[in-house]
Amino acid sequence: MIIYTDASGVGIGAVLKQPQDDGVLHPVAYFSRKSRPAEMKKKAVYLECLAIKEALVFWQYWLIGRDFNVISDHKPLETMRVRARTDEALGDLMNYLAQYNFKIIYAQGKENVEAGSLSRNPVLESFENQDEVLTLVNFVMMRDIEKDQKTNREEIFQAKSITERQNIYFKKLKQRDCIFISGDLEGK
């Protein structure tokens, strides 16, 4: 997956794309929202970083445990060279972003037209995401889940409502398919 993000003085925008069978990147989802009054006063590095964070929060359930790229037209973010910052709010954004396994790739604004258009013409009003952010606890990598499922096959086959998709076992809980993990992995 690739996420294109952009920020402007009026809003933030993002486009989630995936390569399809034809090898071409196609949009899968869009996100934009208006900036809050306090955000409009922030520096560009903060706004561009905020655009990434808000996109990740909005699509977090698709991104957790996956490798992906973020395309931004803000060069300092490419190597996360904002470590020497004095802005505490920017530090909080960077701390949140550390939960995900992604790489930021710089691209000029002309290569990021869709996200740029969304940031200048935001659709949603500014809002607080009630699902808000992931916590830093119990973050499990997909390779750990695969290893756990191979090691604990007997426990999987004793459970009820198990299905398999792409070599990963899921258990139906409250009408939803959830990745099956053993008691061993739950405690980590």
What's the pLDDT score for residue 86?
58
pLDDT digits (tens, 9 = 90+) for 34-46: 888 888 888 888 8
- The fold of 2-120 is Nucleotidyltransferase; domain 5 (3.30.420)
Q: Please state the φ and ψ torsions of residue 178, each to the nearest 5 degrees.
A: -115, 140
pLDDT digits (tens, 9 = 90+) for 48-79: 888 999 999 888 888 888 899 999 888 877 77
For the chain, give the percent of residues with pLDDT over 90. 15
Closest CA to 72 of 136, 17, 135, 7: 7
Alpha helices in the chain (DSSP H): 44-58, 60-63, 88-97, 113-120, 142-151, 153-158, 183-186
Looking at the whole model, is its pTM more than 0.85?
no
Give the residue-averaged pLDDT of 161-175.
83
Higher pLDDT, 98 or 30: 30
Q: Residue 94 pLDDT > 50, yes or no?
A: yes
In one-letter notation, the amino acid at residue 124 is L
Confidence at 126, pLDDT banded by 50, 70, 90 = low
Cα separation, 160 vs 101, whole angstroms: 32
Cα separation, 72 vs 74, whole angstroms: 5
Rounded mean pLDDT of the chain? 80
Q: Where in the chain is the domain with CATH 3.30.420.10?
A: 2-120
